[in-house]
Chain A
Amino acid sequence: MANNNTVQLQMDKEKVTGGIRVRRVVANVVLVFLCVLCLIWFYMLFVNATLNHGQLTSGILRMYPGTNFGENFRLLMGGKQIALTEITPEMRAELSEADIAKIEAKNADLQKQIDEANKTPFIKLIAHSKVWKGLLNSVIIAVGSAVLCTYFSTMTAYAIHCYNFRAKKFIFTFILMIMTIPTQVTAVGFVRLMRSIHLHDTFLPLIIPAIAAPVTFFYMKQYMDSTLPIQIVEAARIDGSGEFRTFNTIVLPMMKPAIAVQAIFTFVGSWNNYFVPSLILDSAKNKTLPILIWEQRNTDWKNFNMGTVYMMILLSIFPVIVVYFLLSKYIVGGVALGSVKG
């Protein structure tokens, strides 16, 4: 009997292995295709950051990097963009000598400006660039939002998941309802409210509201429904753990994958947000990266350069990717869930 079973199992395994090879190939082909579809945009952004303004506005899409990466970076850091008038042989033939002299004088003047600009060492230029302050501001706001949002959304979900109280059903329905409110509706009213209570030009209105995030709450609640048995909490109570401690030391670690996922989503959402921050923040020292991107985009035509705009977009994506890679180990399954199931 036991022997029979073993033989049967072995035969099954062999059948399956043949099928698995085919499935593995199919899966890999599909996944590689999807990855190309996902990565091509980053390549295009990179290529665009290496092109000059003319190439970017010519209407022809380029798929190979250009040579302007360094120059775009220099301009973004506040370098000057000054062009001299080229005196062609035709011009020499057509213009009078006095005119040529005038153009040369103008060029000499411009050359002086270029030399003046070049006096500032590149390192100093980089150090003075407002990009870094913008980066820091963006990091503070995005990290603050992500931490508050995930911690308190988990707490709210835990309240609904683990306890029975009279208003529970009402609160749960209420939060689901407010989740369906189009967010853009209240944005302008929100900004006015912040101005009237003198919270404008501070980071608080951009961080604190993350505590009440219905969408994140709903995810945490659903996640608990499928993975957090109430018995674990009860076991902790028997061990004499306080409710708050149970939440922090037992529930939170179990929620790691969900927290990592929502932390990324919140971070990215906050990081790329332009509209509300641009209305809340006034002073130059408080501006975030998306605001700087749009200022770059709004610059006057003499300094306007699509190459620097793309360089700025590329720079601003970089930190998000870093954060994503840091958190992704929780998502892709590298983290053992510990003694969750009992």
Chain B
Amino acid sequence: MKQTKNGKAVSFNKWGYIFLIPFVLTYLFFQLVPLVLTIYYSFITYYEDGLTTVRSGWNTFANYAYFFKDTRLVTYGLNTIIMWIIGFIPQILVSLLLGAWFSDARLRLKAASFYKVVIYLPNLIMASAFSLLFFSLLKDTGPIHGLLANMGIIKPTEDLFKNVWFARCIVGFMNFLMWFGNTTILLMAGMLGIDQSLYEAAEVDGATPTQVFWRITLPLLRPILVYVLLTSLIGGLQMFDVPQVLTQGKGGPNETTFTVIMWLNRFSSGDKDFGKGGALSVVLFIITGILSMIVYKVSAGKQEE
């Protein structure tokens, strides 16, 4: 009897491997080769000069040493993280608030479906087109600038984008605007999966909406929240398009909105430096990996219990 049971479990579990085949094969074939090459390049001297390619052997971590000989990695890394946090905090708070409102049966928002659909829409526009429209409102010749100048809040000659914290906050705000709908949808999809009878039971027991949210919704949403936090962190560390467009690729003022990927972009556009670009990618990968592991362990660890 025991034997059979074990045998059966094993035969079920081989399906785990079978179901993994498409992912693993596709990954090995399409992604692993370029990835391994990138890592390999990070250890050699390999760059383009016009149409000629210069390539020579192992250079004893020279590519890596390049990124640690000054403090720019820290500076650009902090820029990136600061702008990510400026966007992420309102993003997660607003998403949770909206999630709570939408899932609160007693609130009965008449236009809920409309709201739910609309908040995701900014994500449909190409990031670059979106940043462009945003920029045209705020630039020193744009209407919002004019309005603020007329109200005496800023000097007419002042360019808002030359203020460090304004520039960073604008990048953060744009990220918020583009992604809070996305996050809300993820959370709502998670909420839909929660057993409705739990809510009904809570209502019968006279629980307040706040209690329902903290005691039922949030704990059951934890895996989705972990997902949101992790992917947002990873996406945040790879922040590029919004600051790139808003500052015309300059990361100004004085490189305070210059991100790590904007730095990487220097090595990979025009004449490419595969060696240094590869090394910076690997460094970024390691940093992202470590931060993600910490976040994952801290947030998902408790959930196992």
Contact = CB atoms under 8 A, between A and B. Distances in A.
Q: Do A and B interact with each other, yes or no?
A: yes
A91 interface: no
Contacts of B129: 45, 313
Interface string A217-252: 111001101110000000001000001100100000
B197 A341 contact: yes
Nearest to A151: B22
Nearest to B233: A180
A63 B265 CA distance: 35
Contacts of A64: none
Contacts of B195: 340-341
Contacts of B56: none
Interface stretch (B69-77, B162-170, B247-255, B288-296): B288-296
Provide the main secondary structure of the chain A interface.
helix
Interface string A17-42: 00010011001101100110111011
A142 to B, nearest CB: 12
Interface stretch (A73-81, A108-116, A123-131, A320-328): A320-328
Contacts of B67: none
Q: Which of B23, B126, B133, B288 is packed against the most chain A CB atoms within 10 Å?
A: B23
Contacts of A268: 123-124
Given A177-B289, A261-B185, A223 B193 contact: yes
A185 B38 contact: yes
Interface in B252-281: 261, 264-265, 268, 272, 277-278, 281
Contacts of A176: 292, 296
Contact of A180 (B13, B123, B288): B288
B238 to A, nearest CB: 5
A38 B106 contact: no
A178 B31 contact: yes
A183 interface: yes
B89 interface: no
A24 B220 contact: no
B34 interface: yes
Nearest to A334: B113
A12 B106 CA distance: 13
A179 interface: yes
B121 A321 contact: yes
B106 A188 contact: no
Q: What 10 A-B pairs have minimum CB-CB distances, sorted nearest first?
A: A163-B16, A189-B34, A227-B193, A159-B19, A186-B34, A222-B223, A212-B27, A212-B26, A180-B288, A225-B223
